[in-house]
Amino acid sequence: MSPLAAFGTALTALRVNALRSFLAMLGVIIGVAAVITTVSISQGAKRAIEEQISSLGANALMIRPNSSSRGGRRGGFGSGTPFSDADTIALRDLPYLAGASGTIGASGTLVVDGINWPSDVEGVDADYFDIRDIIIEDGRAFTQAETEARARVVLLGKTVERELFPYGGAIGSSVRINNIPFDVIGLIASSGQSSGGRDRDDIVYAPVSTVRSRLSGFRYPGVRDPVNAIWVEVRQGYDVETVTAQLTDFMTAQRNLRIGQEADFVVSNFADFIRARNESEKMFSVMLAAVAGVCLLVGGIGIMNIMLVSVTERTREIGLRLAVGARPRDIRNQFLVEAIVLCLAGGLFGLAFGAAGAYGVEKIGEFAVSIEPMVALIAVGASSLVGIIFGFYPAHRASQLNPIDALRYE
Amino acid sequence: MGALIQARDLRRTYRMGGMDVHALSGVTLDIEAGAYVAVMGASGSGKSTFMNMLGALDQPSSGQLIINDIALHERSADELAAFRNQTIGFVFQQFNLLARTTALDNVGLPLLYSGMATKERHARAAHCLEMVGLGDRMDHHPSQLSGGQQQRVAIARALANNPRILLADEPTGALDSRTTQDVMAIFDQLNREGITLIIVTHEDEVGAHARRQIIFRDGHVLEDRR
């Protein structure tokens, strides 16, 4: 019998027992749907984390003061003695760093021709854009000279540009931030929505010195030219963890702390933190995959069960087919093809339901999902494999029947 | 080169409940090409066992069976399948048609296993249905046909691959006397056209259509009338 004829015969037999075929498929449908949904969710989470890491700058470290403590009353994180521009300059000379930038956060209302928009104003050094992998889409970053001169220049994030300059022409225009005029010299490429729902494009960058003196008024007794934090970039080829330790030692000396005294600052590696969280999510997705695999196994056993029932019930049909000239392998192929068609159809239905489930989760849970063609292919392939494995035994049993015994079967 | 069918000391022993049951105990006979034979006898006489062996549905425990120069007792499962497909047409008492399958597809079943292309298969099956007078019932399912019509579909199926030998096991056992006559008329016609016809029956009127009656009892040939 030709493969096409075997396929036709199988399809006819499955159609004749449509309800039972559907019930047999159900296990595989649920199994594959579970695989697709769970893998899509964990892939989506993984992708979101990767985006987060790249948005932070893969080799970026942040140094900020620890909490202050005065007379037993502790301030919030970062409220301790701040760093200064002098620290930033000292850090730039270190061989294992590619750059350093102080940062001061402020907020302000931007006004252009009667349109106003409140936003975050981040005071940074020219190095900052390279450290955080921020892409300047148009225009330029500020120069060292502008930083030193507290120049009133600003770079706009995408959202700010859209709100203030809906018709374009931002570069070269003047923007008033808290009534102080700034020249727009560059535009930042979009870095997209962050996982917390915060719009990372709703931001403007100005030289740290300008923000300190004109916008935030950041002062700290005993510290000249203070900054909130310093971002540094580890030079290519240096180990991030070693550099973190070296930086801690360097800053301890810089801040005149005694050896053994508790450091009053923290060097954070966000990428590592996120990767660690990713590890636990990896465990989670392995467990989900195991559960989905069990579903598929149960589905396969369901198929085997139904196929065994089907072989028993159709013993006389098998006897007749043998009597008119079917070879044992024709009978085996017929039932094998039936099992494979069941599993494959179940796999495709499961794929559809799984994809629908994943999108449902995305909508309801505001969770990023990502359905990868490779995963879909593997899931459907695995379900056909289940069909072959679990269909083989019933099919083999059918093919071993003796014609006359099968014909006489009641 | 001898007769079309040559049985030599054919024996078939079953084990049932720890006891050996001799369904056939040494049957030797020849059947010539073009013969019209009725195999008769009481139930349990071995006539059906003999018939199943002729159709390669069952294998002898010992002895030789040569049909159309093919020694059935020493052939593989695949070779026996090809033999059933090409050399033999089998008609059963209970018709054994596939339910929820059209008459045309039922008749085409043996052609499916001989690897005939769909178009050719349908044409050949339609031709066979016309031969048994059911050219207008091709798309009917067995449940939509009378017993006589169903048996005629089964005969058409047996004829699909143009076999040399037609074996019929109690073909009229489930039919009334009028449809029995219709079916026997078809058999008579087929034999006249040259097919070797062997019918198992316990009805004398059916047996009378044949030119030779072989009567079985207790696994032996009791009588061989020509």
Residues A257 and A283 placed together within one structural domain of the fold? no
Percentage, residues of chain A above pLDDT 70: 90
* Residue A311 to residues A336, B98, B201, Cα–Cα distance (Å): 11, 15, 31
Maximum average pLDDT range among A252-261, A262-271, B140-149 = B140-149
Residues A354 and A291 placed together within one structural domain of the fold? yes
From chain A, the residues in CB contact with B98 under 8 A are 317, 320
How are beta strands B212-217 and B220-225 bridged, if at all?
A: antiparallel
In A208-264, DSSP assigns E strands to: 226-227, 229-234
Q: Is the pLDDT assigned to residue A91 strictly greater than 70? A: yes
B115 in reach of chain A (CB within 8 A) = yes
Q: Is the pLDDT assigned to residue A67 strictly greater than 80? A: no
Report the pLDDT value the prediction gives residue A78, as an integer from 0 to 100: 58
From chain A, the residues in CB contact with B100 under 8 A are 16
Percentage, residues of chain B above pLDDT 70: 100
- Please, are residues A69 and A82 in contact by the beta-carbon 8 Å criterion? no
Nearest-CB residue to A404 (from B57, B86, B98): B57
The reply to whether A285 falls in a domain is: yes
Structural domain of A173: 81-263
Cβ contacts of B191 within 8 Å, gap of 6 or more = B34, B36, B197
Geometric angle at alpha carbon B201, from B196 and B205, rounded to 5°: 95
The reply to whether A149 falls in a domain is: yes
Instruction: Report d(CA B182, CA B14) in Å as an integer.
Output: 37
Report the pLDDT value the prediction gives residue A245, as an integer from 0 to 100: 86
pLDDT, tens digit, for every residue of A297-345?
A: 888 888 888 889 889 989 999 999 999 999 999 999 999 999 988 888 8
What does residue A259 show for φ and ψ, rounded to 5 degrees?
Answer: -60, 135
From chain B, the residues in CB contact with A337 under 8 A are none
The reply to whether A75 falls in a domain is: no
Instruction: Report d(CA A210, CA B12) in Å as an integer.
Output: 109
What number of H helices and E strands is found in chain A? 13, 14
From chain B, the residues in CB contact with A316 under 8 A are 96
Which chain B residue is nearest to residue A334, measuring alpha carbons? B113
Predicted complex: ipTM over 0.90? yes
Percentage, residues of chain B above pLDDT 90: 75
Buried residues in A381-409 as b, exposed as e (16+ CB within 10 A): ebbbbbbeebbbebbebbbebebbebbee
Q: Which of A263, A298, A318 is the last residue of a domain?
A: A263
What residue type is assigned to position A221 of the chain? P
The full DSSP string for B4-64 is SEEEEEEEEEEEETTEEEEEEEEEEEEE-TT-EEEEEE-TTSSHHHHHHHHTTSS--SEEE
Cβ contacts of A322 within 8 Å, gap of 6 or more = A328, A331, A401, A403, A406, B57, B81, B84
Report the pLDDT value the prediction gives residue A72, as an integer from 0 to 100: 60
Maximum average pLDDT range among A102-106, B83-87, B202-206 = B83-87
Instruction: Report d(CA A295, CA B148) in Å as an integer.
Output: 51
Of A15-24, A61-70, A157-166, B133-142, the range with the lowest mean pLDDT is A61-70
Geometric angle at alpha carbon A384, from A379 and A387, rounded to 5°: 130
Strand partners, B91: B168
Q: Is the pLDDT assigned to residue A194 strictly greater than 70? A: no
The reply to whether A337 falls in a domain is: yes
Geometric angle at alpha carbon A335, from A329 and A337, rounded to 5°: 95
Decide if A325 and B90 are in contact by the 8 Å CB cutoff: no
Residues A154 and A217 placed together within one structural domain of the fold? yes
Q: Is the pLDDT assigned to residue A195 strictly greater than 60? A: no
Instruction: Report d(CA B12, CA A406) in Å as an integer.
Output: 18
Residues A95 and A128 placed together within one structural domain of the fold? yes
Residues A37 and A184 placed together within one structural domain of the fold? no
Of A57-71, A286-300, B182-196, the range with the lowest mean pLDDT is A57-71
Which chain A residue is nearest to residue B53, measuring alpha carbons? A404
Residues A257 and A302 placed together within one structural domain of the fold? no
Of A342-351, A373-382, B27-36, the range with the lowest mean pLDDT is A373-382
Report the pLDDT value the prediction gives residue A18, as an integer from 0 to 100: 85
Phi-psi region of B74 (alpha: psi -120 to 50; beta: other; left: phi over 0): alpha
- Distance from the A5 Cα atom to the nearest Cα atom in chain B, whole angstroms: 7
Number of domains observed in the structure of chain A? 2
Confidence of residue A73 (pLDDT cuts 50, 70, 90): low
Report the pLDDT value the prediction gives residue A291, as an integer from 0 to 100: 80
Q: Is the pLDDT assigned to residue A76 strictly greater than 70? A: no
Residues A138 and A215 placed together within one structural domain of the fold? yes
Residues A279 and A328 placed together within one structural domain of the fold? yes
Average the pLDDT over A66-70 and give the result. Answer: 65
Report the pLDDT value the prediction gives residue A21, as an integer from 0 to 100: 87
Q: Is the pLDDT assigned to residue A167 strictly greater than 60? A: yes
Residues A360 and A383 placed together within one structural domain of the fold? yes
Q: Which of A199, A231, A263 is the last residue of a domain?
A: A263
Q: Which of residues 52-91 of B touch A (CB under 8 A)?
A: 52, 55-58, 77-78, 81-82, 84-86, 90
| The token pair that represents B136 in the structure block | 């207008």
Report the pLDDT value the prediction gives residue B35, as an integer from 0 to 100: 95
Sign of CA dihedral A45, A51, A57, A59: positive
The reply to whether A309 falls in a domain is: yes
Residues A223 and A309 placed together within one structural domain of the fold? no
A215 DSSP assignment: I
Q: Which of residues 3-42 of B touch A (CB under 8 A)?
A: none
The reply to whether A60 falls in a domain is: no
Residues A212 and A119 placed together within one structural domain of the fold? yes
- Please, are residues A160 and A119 in contact by the beta-carbon 8 Å criterion? yes
Average the pLDDT over B178-203 and give the result. Answer: 93
Q: Which of A205, A239, A263 is the last residue of a domain?
A: A263
Average the pLDDT over A161-176 and give the result. Answer: 89
Confidence of residue A377 (pLDDT cuts 50, 70, 90): confident
pLDDT, tens digit, for every residue of B21-53?
A: 889 999 999 999 999 999 999 888 999 999 999
Task: Indicate which of B48, B98, B114, B141 best probes the interface with A, i.e. most A CBs within 10 Å of its own CB.
Answer: B98
Confidence of residue B71 (pLDDT cuts 50, 70, 90): very high
B145 C-beta neighbours (distance < 10 Å), count: 18
* Residue A211 to residues A89, A176, A260, Cα–Cα distance (Å): 18, 13, 36
| The token pair that represents B41 in the structure block | 């006898």
Instruction: Report d(CA A88, CA A82) in Å as an integer.
Output: 12
Instruction: Report d(CA A11, CA B97) in Å as an integer.
Output: 18
Q: What is the mean pLDDT of chain A?
A: 84
Average the pLDDT over B142-148 and give the result. Answer: 92
The reply to whether A268 falls in a domain is: no
Instruction: Report d(CA A115, CA B150) in Å as an integer.
Output: 89
Report the pLDDT value the prediction gives residue A218, as an integer from 0 to 100: 81
What number of H helices and E strands is found in chain B? 7, 10
Higher per-residue pLDDT: A152 or A31: A152
Cβ contacts of B42 within 8 Å, gap of 6 or more = B202, B217
Residue linked to tokens 């970039």:
A233
Instruction: Report d(CA B221, CA B39) in Å as an integer.
Output: 10
Residues A199 and A336 placed together within one structural domain of the fold? no
The reply to whether A72 falls in a domain is: no
Q: Is the pLDDT assigned to residue B179 strictly greater than 80? A: yes
Q: What is the mean pLDDT of chain B?
A: 92
Helices (H), A212-327: 240-254, 270-313, 315-323
Q: Is the pLDDT assigned to residue B211 strictly greater than 70? A: yes
pLDDT, tens digit, for every residue of B73-131?
A: 889 999 999 999 999 999 998 899 998 889 999 999 999 999 888 899 999 999 999 99
